[in-house]
Amino acid sequence: MISDVLPDIPRVYTALAEWSAALVYILLIRKRLNAPRLAAAVAVGLAVLVGLQVAAGHFPIALWTLGMMLALAAMYALIYGCAEVSAKDAGYFVARAFVLAELVASLQWQLHTYLFRTGTDAPAVPAGLLLVGIFGVAFVGAFFIERRHFSPTWSLDVDTRGLLSAVAIALITFLTSNLSFVTTSTPFSGQRGTEIFYIRTLVDLAGYVALYAQQGQRLELRRAREVEAMDRLLHSQHEQYLQSRRSMEVVDRKYHDLKHYIAALRAEKDPVARTGYLNQLEDSIRAYGAQVDTGNSVLDAILTARGAQYAEDDVTLTCVADGQALGFMSAVDISALVGNALDNALEAVLAVDDRDRRLVQVAIFAQDGFVIMRFENYFEAQLDFDGDLPRTSKGDRRHHGYGLKNMLQIAESYGGTLTVWAEADWFTVRVLIPRPASS
């Protein structure tokens, strides 16, 4: 038997804790609703949770689990309806919010019973001040603690494994913390009311720490994958640059050889046949002989190679570039910035059915102590932004979508910025980098 039995947490307190915990995570991530609708939805959520908890207090013990499930469903609906999250993301946040709510409610009620030695008939004003103080400090503190793990500009993208892990931690935490209310005949149960409250608070704290550590590990793994993907992308871009240089050398040799062939053909006696052969031969090599000369060999190689690819895909590329303005940048960085931008633009315009609108414009120049790189392309698709950058249109987001991130990282490494916007069927990427004083 449990000696020195203390009153259990009031249902209204539990509902308020669950609502506050859900609100913490809603405020941390991107909102689905505007401010007035968000406020209305949050208010409705509080009313629903209070109503469910009060009603569950009158359920028979056999329906106690049903009451808990209804409360969790209400928390899920509140988070999913207010925050721009997927179904899995919402489930992940519910698991975290539930453990946080259990922890704060248990801590507050433990202090309440310690100070007042009674339940709901405690002095109203001191009890109310204690409730507001503990809930305020705990949930505001949780908000600031969780800010380093969540942001409105990040996409959570919880997979099934991550969701199941969070749910398992929350379930084990809840069952272990409430074990003493079911039976006292286990090594992990308490015998006295104060012991039971202490065990519940301590176990809930351990569960919250475990979920916090799990999210930190998820972020570390995500960053490691992004760094690995960016490294692969950089290596790929550098290899493309080297291949472009080799291809240009081959084309140069063939171009000069073909000029001798043209001279031989001019000796053809039949004027009509000779002119026809010459015209065909010149048309076939014109694209290869037209090299880009910007004053930067790296940029020349990239633009020449991409220009040939654009021509093959029937895409119009217009380029005005001062390659000397990029003299302070490394070959790898130039290759990654320009190569990624041109690859993304090509992929976008190839989705345009009207071939006359497959247009890409590039401008690279120095102005007022800055190097400005501007890449524009016509587009007809719908953009879904993840913070300041558009999300990849490919289904596998883990292995795609790093082109713009890599460009942003390179721009920031030089103290610059990358800006992306879409307007009037044109998609624009602008890179702004300050020029060193020496250049």
pLDDT in tens, 402-416: 578 888 888 888 889
Q: What pLDDT score was predicted for residue 386? A: 59
Is the pLDDT score of 325 beyond 60? yes
Residues facing residue 432 across a β-bridge: 372, 417
Tell me the whole-structure pTM to 2 decimals: 0.60
Would you say 197 and 106 are in contact if contact means Cβ atoms under 8 Å apart? yes
Q: What number of residues does the chain have? A: 439
Residue 370, phi-psi category: left (phi > 0), alpha (psi -120 to 50), beta (remainder): beta
Encoded tokens for 42: 């949050």
Is the pLDDT score of 8 beyond 60? yes
pLDDT in tens, 154-187: 777 788 888 999 999 999 998 887 765 555 555 5
Encoded tokens for 206: 């351990």
Q: State which amino acid sits at residue 297.
A: S
Would you say 237 and 338 are in contact if contact means Cβ atoms under 8 Å apart? no
Confidence of residue 399 (pLDDT cuts 50, 70, 90): very low
**DSSP for 409-430?**
HHHHHTT-EEEEEEETTEEEEE
Angle at 145 between CA 141 and CA 149, to 5 degrees: 150
Q: To which residue do tokens 């090594």 refer?
A: 187
CA distance 27 to 254: 63
Q: What pLDDT score was predicted for residue 373? A: 94
Phi first, then psi, for residue 287 (nearest 5°) are -65, -30
Nearest to 237 by CA among 301, 167, 164: 301
Residue 314 CB coordination number (10 Å): 11
Residues facing residue 360 across a β-bridge: 317, 377
The DSSP call for residue 438 is T
Task: Name the range with the highest mean pLDDT among 145-149, 297-301, 395-399.
Answer: 145-149
Nearest to 4 by CA among 236, 271, 143, 197: 197
Least confident of 133-137, 185-189, 217-221, 311-315: 185-189
Name the percent of the chain lying above pLDDT 90.
34
Mean residue pLDDT of the chain comes to 81
Nearest to 192 by CA among 359, 389, 6, 322: 6
CA–chain centroid gap for 24, Å, is 19
Nearest to 306 by CA among 347, 355, 339, 350: 339
Q: Specify the higher pLDDT residue, 20 or 315.
A: 20
What stretch of H or E contains 364? strand 359-367
Q: Specify the higher pLDDT residue, 146 or 114.
A: 146
Confidence of residue 25 (pLDDT cuts 50, 70, 90): very high
**DSSP for 7-32?**
PPPPHHHHHHHHHHHHHHHHHHS-BS
Q: What pLDDT score was predicted for residue 3? A: 43
Q: What pLDDT score was predicted for residue 2? A: 42
Is the pLDDT score of 396 beyond 50? no
The DSSP call for residue 295 is S
Is the pLDDT score of 239 beyond 70? no
Residue 150, phi-psi category: left (phi > 0), alpha (psi -120 to 50), beta (remainder): beta
Residue 289 CB coordination number (10 Å): 14
Q: State which amino acid sits at residue 154.
A: W
Residues facing residue 428 across a β-bridge: 376, 421
Q: What pLDDT score was predicted for residue 58? A: 85
Helix (H, G, I), strand (E, B) or coil at 204: helix
Residue 169 CB coordination number (10 Å): 21
